[in-house]
């Protein structure tokens, strides 16, 4: 292996002549996702004749979730917690799979009350559990846990539930919200406004005048790493300003970043893609995938970027159906492939996207270039260089 520690983030180039693809060095399924899917298939094989449920989407990828449905798995709720199947219909003999994002302590207790063995097929990613463990240690040390995450995301809801069971907790979505929270630390905002500003995002009994004196930051593992670092740095500097550098350790827990390795690697590889002289970028993944959305954000800094779920959204050489992460709407763009002698395309995907989807995107675009070098020749050349 030329890069055993996976520290080389230089993009790979598949050059087919009239079109070339620059692939991120790291993209696609992470360990937690692969493990969760494997356990789900095993649950079906080991329990013939029994009903098998998924608590919610296994991962944020429609291809994977549709495959699980086609194999007979039913979903109890959607990603926002809206119930499809009432708890009363879940029986002790049923199998319930906990998804890779984990779940709340309250839902675990509901399942136990129904007689379900929660631990039997729990696919919670170990990197998510690492955040829960970090939160517990912060709480035990008397710090309030500030969670950087999307409030309605399953993982953030699960992390909040676990952290709030140990200590005071509050969720901030981004740096702007972090700075708003900081205004309660400095006294720039009256404390009573906190309960409106952060409604449904703070733990029971939270008192901003008391519980914002000692803080530590953790995150939803799929958030943008640089933003999490900015938030942690902001609170660190704020505590120095309010309490003095000599008292920093008393008021700020200097936690290390809690993003998973796959999110870190995918984001680092995307930064290297931004240096590529490409004409456009295509990012493949589920539209409700947090880590994929962040990769789209990064690509948009350098390229016209198209976020698609699969090759089916490439309608023709002149039309692509894609998702706008800012308006949260699907849209259609024309002329996305430039008319030039050689087209250069940046191509990557999120940690919840099967590699086969990326392969299918390449093949779909290659079908528009009949004069392109055959795939087998390009792959053989890649293997010998």
Distance CA 354, CA 361 (A): 12
The pLDDT value recorded for residue 67 is 86
Work out the burial of residue 273: count CB atoms within 10 Å of its CB; fewer than 13 is exposed, 13-18 middle, 19 or more buried: buried
Q: Which residues contact 356 (CB under 8 A, 6 or more apart)?
A: none
Q: Summarize pLDDT for 79-120 with one digit per residue, the tens.
A: 777 889 999 999 999 999 998 889 999 999 999 999 999 999
CATH number of 126-253: 3.40.1010.20
Distance CA 132, CA 139 (A): 11
Distance CA 331, CA 345 (A): 20
Is 31-113 a CATH 3.30.420.40 domain? no
More confident residue, 34 or 202: 202
The pLDDT value recorded for residue 302 is 95
Give yes or no for residue 26 having a pLDDT over 50: yes
Tokens linked to 231: 């938030």
Distance CA 23, CA 130 (A): 30
Q: Is 313 a catalytic residue?
A: no
Mean pLDDT of the chain: 90
> Same fold for the domain at 12-29+261-384 and the one at 126-253?
yes
Q: Are 161 and 296 in contact (CB under 8 A)?
A: no
The topology under which CATH files domain 12-29+261-384 is Cobalt-precorrin-4 Transmethylase; domain 1 (3.40.1010)
Residue 253 pLDDT level (bands cut at 50, 70, 90): very high
Give yes or no for residue 5 having a pLDDT over 60: no
The pLDDT value recorded for residue 164 is 97
Give yes or no for residue 177 having a pLDDT over 50: yes
Residue 276 pLDDT level (bands cut at 50, 70, 90): very high
Tokens linked to 2: 């030329």
pTM, 2 dp? 0.75
Farthest CA pair distance, the chain: 69
Residue 343 pLDDT level (bands cut at 50, 70, 90): very high
The pLDDT value recorded for residue 2 is 44
Closest CA to 32 of 221, 181, 242: 221
Residue 260 pLDDT level (bands cut at 50, 70, 90): low
3-class DSSP state for residue 265? helix
Which residue, chain included where needed, has tokens 């055959």?
Answer: 374
Catalytic residue among 108, 154, 155, 177: 155
The pLDDT value recorded for residue 65 is 81
The pLDDT value recorded for residue 385 is 59
Average pLDDT over residues 254-264: 67
The domain segmentation of the chain, as residue ranges, is 12-29+261-384, 31-113, 126-253
Provide the CA 136 distance to its chain's centre, in angstroms: 22
The pLDDT value recorded for residue 1 is 38
Give yes or no for residue 321 having a pLDDT over 50: yes
Least confident of 118-127, 254-263, 324-333: 254-263
């Amino acid at each position: 292996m030329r890069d055993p520690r996976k520290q080389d983030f230089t993009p790979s180039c598949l050059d087919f002549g009239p079109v070339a693809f620059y692939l991120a060095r790291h993209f696609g399924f992470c360990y937690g996702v692969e493990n969760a899917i494997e356990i789900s298939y095993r649950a079906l094989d080991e329990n013939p004749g029994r009903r098998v449920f998924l608590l919610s989407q296994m991962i944020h990828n429609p291809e994977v979730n549709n495959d699980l449905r086609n194999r007979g798995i039913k979903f109890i709720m959607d990603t926002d917690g809206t119930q499809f199947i009432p708890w009363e219909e879940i029986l002790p003999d049923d199998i319930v799979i906990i998804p890779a994002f984990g779940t709340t302590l309250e839902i675990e207790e509901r399942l136990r009350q129904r007689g379900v063995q929660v631990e039997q097929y729990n696919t919670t990613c170990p990197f998510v559990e690492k955040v829960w463990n970090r939160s517990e240690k912060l709480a035990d040390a008397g710090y309030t846990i500030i969670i950087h995450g999307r409030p309605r995301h399953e993982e953030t809801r699960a992390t909040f539930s676990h952290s709030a069971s140990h200590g005071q907790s509050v969720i901030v979505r981004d740096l702007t919200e972090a700075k708003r929270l900081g205004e309660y630390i400095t006294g720039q905002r009256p404390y009573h406004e906190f309960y409106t500003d952060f409604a449904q995002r703070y733990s029971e009994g939270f008192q901003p005048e008391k519980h914002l004196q000692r803080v530590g930051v953790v995150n939803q593992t799929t958030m943008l790493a640089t933003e999490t670092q900015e938030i942690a740095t902001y609170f660190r500097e704020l505590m120095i300003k309010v309490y003095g550098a000599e008292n920093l350790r008393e008021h700020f827990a200097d936690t290390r970043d809690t993003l998973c390795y796959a999110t870190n690697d995918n984001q680092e590889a995307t930064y290297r893609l931004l240096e590529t002289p490409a004409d456009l970028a295509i990012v493949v993944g589920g539209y409700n995938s947090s880590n994929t959305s962040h990769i789209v954000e990064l690509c948009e800094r350098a390229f016209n970027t198209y976020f698609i779920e699969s090759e089916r959204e490439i309608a023709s050489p002149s039309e692509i159906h894609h998702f706008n992460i800012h308006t949260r709407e699907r849209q259609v763009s024309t002329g996305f492939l430039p008319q030039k002698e050689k087209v250069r395309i940046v191509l990557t995907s999120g940690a919840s996207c099967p590699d086969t989807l990326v392969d299918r995107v390449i093949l779909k675009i290659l079908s528009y270039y009949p004069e392109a070098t055959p795939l087998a020749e390009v792959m053989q050349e890649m293997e010998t260089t």
